[in-house]
Amino acid sequence: MYKYSDFDESFVRARVAQFTGQVERRISGGLTEDEFRPLRLMNGLYLQLHAYMLRVAVPYGTLSPRQMRQLAYIADTWDKGYGHFTTRQNIQYNWPKLPDVPAILGALADVEMHANQTSGNCIRNVTSDHFAGAAADEIEDPRPVAELIRQWSTDHPEFQFLGRKFKIAITGAPNDRAVTKAHDIGLRMVRNEQGAPGFEVIVGGGLGRTPMIGVTMKPFLPKADLLPYLEAVLSVYNTLGRRDNKYKARIKITVHETGAEEFARLVEERFAVIRPLFSGIDQDLLADIEKAFAPPAYRNAPVDGFDAFYAADPVFRAWADTNLTEHKNAQYAIVTISLKAPGQTPGDATSDQMRVMADLAERYSHGELRVSHEQNIILPHVHKSDLPTVHAALTQAGLGTANVGLISDIIACPGMDYCALATARSIPVAQGIALRFNELKLEHDIGPLKIKISGCINACGHHHVGHIGILGLDRAGVENYQITLGGDGTETAVVGERAGPGFAYDEIIPAIERLITAYLEVRLSPDETFLETYRRLGLGPFKAALYPEDAARNAA
Amino acid sequence: MAPRFTPKVVTANALLEGDVVYLTADDRWSRHHAEAELIEDEAHAQLRLLHAASQKLIVVGAYLADAKAGPNGPEPTHFREVFRTRGPSNYAHGKQVETGHV
Ligand code: SF4
């Protein structure tokens, strides 16, 4: 696995020392809150509804067992024994106390981790396909490039004070699991006619107040041109991007207002100036990084044990059918550990569960773990013969839920249970939906379905790209939930369509149930997914199910 | 005619713990909403908010929140403020267990 260089190590240590001094000065009165706030945000520390919250970066979602154990240790020592994995592949602690934060950052630095650039108007933690390096459909592991981008963007002097935060996502596979089209810059690895890998560069996507699907600015960019091209895009954005209005400051608005063609032309112009300045050192560096990401030494062993178990044990079979993904090595599988047991908070893991996952990764996944933006944990390289053992251990730890990609595998942001910006709660809505469909025992019959919930218009829960999206709002002092339908966060990305007026807190779960009942009635066959049915029929039947009074009135 | 002033309390988060606190009539910061000073006059509210904002080593982000009189003291009116008196709904954490919320 990639190891920090001495430079990274001393950089992170220096930041911890610096922030330790800043916290001391805040507490003793040397710094006012106005002075301190931007400093703490640069170190991932927010003040939320009930407490501080520390957001820890997990670059491109990759963790070692040692790091995962340290996260558990931090949860036990300075928090309430759990952590929350987020849609940005990060982990958040909901209860740190200000005087303890320097010690937490020190403990993170001990395992080459930090909370830098998880906040503020800079280039944030780069996210990637959570199956990177393992997926059967992948062209190349995108993480070396993600790491290159991390190093290039860390403390980049030109991009510390952008007009707004800036998010880059990268995937090496044609099946987009990194939501690249809804990022400021999305990078999708593609091959050119000669078969050489490069990137499709998608610019100006984003969710939030003004959801937009990114525009392909470059259908094929050679790998060696990537950093200068990114720098050109950032540079044009930094010059043109609006700073007068926070809501119009993201690059999606800049691209929209400038026009995609004109924006692309300006990028090319800038690129022509910058490109010669990149002497190739970045490519030497990339070659070194790639070595550190070399695939593990896969074992060659029979897999009949798996086949026999699969045939014999229906519980194991159900789990294998939903939670495993095809690995590039046919003897292996990618395991998705669901952090979505019905009734639990999506994305939360206790410190005990973290340790179990760390142990399993060490013994059965070549020492690797991933955090997915769908708030689950991945064991990327598990030999099939080990799967029954892994499943048994997970089940014992309350981590054996067989629901990945199904209705109870819900993305939910922290919402008004934690987040100071929230306009409504999202966690209890997710819990309620999962419990209800667990009770109905319909989940497997319903099939693939992505529900995504945000507690405000900022859309951290990606509701716009949920097959069913739920947005919590404050309407006249009451929680109200708006439903969008038909969203898609993959390579065929679309923003969902608003179904109609919102629902009160106690109406939203019955509304979702009506929606699903309608789907089960109108689908052509059990093979037609919710999204396919929606694409075939449009809003009509779903609207009728959501608003039966309107439907009755229209019929009358 | 100016709209009637809605009664307010001054609330903030404690600097060290981040916990929700309320300004009392005798200038303390209480963890309990019911102990807050219920402010019924706009000019007085502004004075109290200024006072709160000056306590830079104790609290962060002081603001005025709508409240109403209740049998045991002031009560929040908006759901966000109700949640702030309790803590999150997914775990028994925060005020609901730490301060014997009723
Ligand atoms: S979507 Fe809104 S409520 Fe949810 S985490 Fe983001 S800012 Fe907070």
Question: Is A143 part of the contact surface with chain B (CB cutoff 8 Å)?
Answer: no
C-alpha pair distances (Å), A190 with each of A36, A187, A214, A433, B7? 44, 9, 17, 38, 61
CB contacts < 8 A (A, B): 75
The Cα–Cα gap between A121 and A539 comes to 38
Residue B1 within a domain = no
Closest CA to A465 of A494, A497, A429: A494
SS3 content of chain B, % helix, strand, coil (to 5): 25, 25, 50
Confirm or reject: Cβ of A512 under 6 Å from ligand 1. Answer: no
Angle between helices A6-28 and A33-42 (to 10 degrees): 160
At A556 the pLDDT is 62
By the 8 A CB rule, do A341 and A330 touch? no
Amino acid identity for residue A380 in this structure: P
Cα distance between residue A229 and residue A428, in whole Å: 43
CB contact at 8 A, A515 and A466: no
Contact B20 A49 (CB under 8 A): yes
Question: What residue of B is the nearest CA neighbor of A98?
Answer: B16
Pairwise CA distance, residues A467 & A5, whole Å: 42
Q: How far is CA A463 from CA A287, A319, A468, A546, B14, in A?
A: 38, 26, 7, 18, 33
CB pair distance less than 8 Å for A27 and B60: no
Every domain of chain A and the residues it spans:
6-109, 142-291, 304-396, 411-555
Its pTM stands at: 0.95
Does the structure show a pLDDT above 70 at B99? Answer: no
pLDDT at B102: 41
B61-92 tens-digit pLDDT: 999 999 999 999 999 999 999 999 999 999 99
Q: pLDDT by residue for chain A (556 residues), tens digit each?
A: 667 777 788 888 999 999 999 999 999 999 999 999 999 998 999 999 999 999 999 999 999 999 999 999 999 999 999 999 999 999 999 999 999 999 999 999 999 999 887 777 888 889 999 999 999 999 999 999 999 998 888 878 888 888 898 999 999 999 999 999 999 999 999 999 999 999 999 999 999 999 999 999 999 999 999 999 999 999 999 998 888 888 898 999 999 999 999 999 999 999 999 999 988 888 999 999 999 999 999 999 999 999 999 999 999 999 999 999 999 999 999 999 999 999 999 999 999 999 999 999 999 999 999 999 999 999 999 999 999 999 999 999 999 999 999 999 999 999 999 999 999 999 999 999 999 999 999 999 999 999 999 999 999 999 999 999 999 999 999 999 999 999 999 999 999 999 999 999 999 999 999 999 999 999 999 999 999 999 999 999 999 999 998 877 777 6
Place of tokens 């699991």: A177
Contact (CB<8Å) B17/A98: yes
Chain A interface, best mutation among B17, B21, B95, by max A CB count within 10 A: B17
Give the count of alpha carbons within 13 A of A251, CB side only.
Answer: 34
CATH 3.30.70.890 fits A142-291, yes or no: no
| HEC secondary structure over B28-68 | CEECCHHHCCCECCHHHHHHHHHHHHCCCCCEEEEEEEEEE
The residue of chain A with its CA nearest to that of B91 is A345
Distance CA A65, CA A512 (A): 38
Nearest CA to ligand 1 atom 2: A456
Give me the interface pTM, i.e. the ipTM. Answer: 0.94
Condensed to tens digits (0 to 9), the pLDDT of residues B23-54 reads 999 999 999 999 999 999 999 999 999 999 99
What pLDDT does A154 receive?
Answer: 82
Residue A306 is encoded by which pair of tokens? 């798996």
**Which structural domain, as residue segments, surrounds residue B83?**
8-99
A376: tokens are 């689950």
**What does the pLDDT read at residue A378?**
98
Cβ-based contacts of A348 with chain B (< 8 Å): 90
The pLDDT, as a whole number, for residue A161 is 82
Domain A411-555: which CATH number of 3.40.50.980, 3.30.413.10, 3.40.50.150, 3.90.550.10: 3.30.413.10
Q: Which amino acid is present at A116?
A: N
Contacts of residue B22 in chain A, CB cutoff 8 Å? none
Contact (CB<8Å) A33/B91? no
Phi-psi region of B32 (alpha: psi -120 to 50; beta: other; left: phi over 0): beta
Residues with Cβ within 8 Å of A34's Cβ and at least 6 positions away in sequence, in order, are none
Cβ contact, residue pair A478, B13, below 8 Å: no
pLDDT at A385: 97
**Predicted pLDDT of residue B61:** 96
On the question of a common fold for A6-109 and A304-396, the answer reads yes
A346 and A155 in contact (C-beta within 8 Å)?
A: no
Residue B98's pLDDT is what? 82
Partner A contacted by B16 (CB < 8 A)? yes
- Distance (Å, rounded) from C-alpha A400 to C-alpha A267? 48
* Closest residue on chain B to A343 (Cα): B90
Measured over the CA atoms of residue A130, residue A133, residue A134 and residue A139, the dihedral's sign is positive
Q: Is A469 in the pocket of ligand 1 (CB under 6 A)?
A: no
Q: B18–A477: do the CB atoms touch at under 8 Å?
A: no
Element spanning A168, H or E: strand A168-171
Q: Which positions 456-495 of A are in contact with B (Cβ < 8 Å)? A: 474, 477-479
Helix A226-240 crosses helix A260-274 at what angle (to 10 degrees)? 120
For A6-109, the fitting CATH number among 3.90.480.20, 3.40.50.150, 3.40.50.1860, 1.10.3470.10 is 3.90.480.20
Structure-token pair, residue A541: 């039947």
In-domain check, residue B2: no
Beta bridge partners of B8: B39, B66
Q: Is residue B64 part of a domain?
A: yes
Kindly state if the Cβ of A447 falls inside 6 Å of ligand 1: no
Total length of chain A: 556
Give the closest of A29, A97, A348 to B17, CB-based: A97
Which among A502, A474, A499 has a CA at the least distance from the CA of A487? A499
Tokens of A288: 């070194």
Give pLDDT, residue B101: 44
Q: Tell me, what DSSP letter sits at residue A416?
A: G
Q: How many domains does the structure of chain B reveal?
A: 1
Ligand 1 center to A101 CA (angstroms): 23
CATH match of A304-396 with 3.10.310.10 = no
Q: Classify A486 in phi/psi space as left (phi over 0), alpha (psi -120 to 50) or beta.
A: left
3-state secondary structure of A290: helix
Residue B21 lies in a domain: yes
Give the bridge partners for A46, in sequence order. A53
Whole-number CA gyration radius for chain B: 13
Closest CA to A450 of A501, A485, A424, A497: A485
User: What would you measure as the largest C-alpha separation in chain B, in angstroms?
Assistant: 46
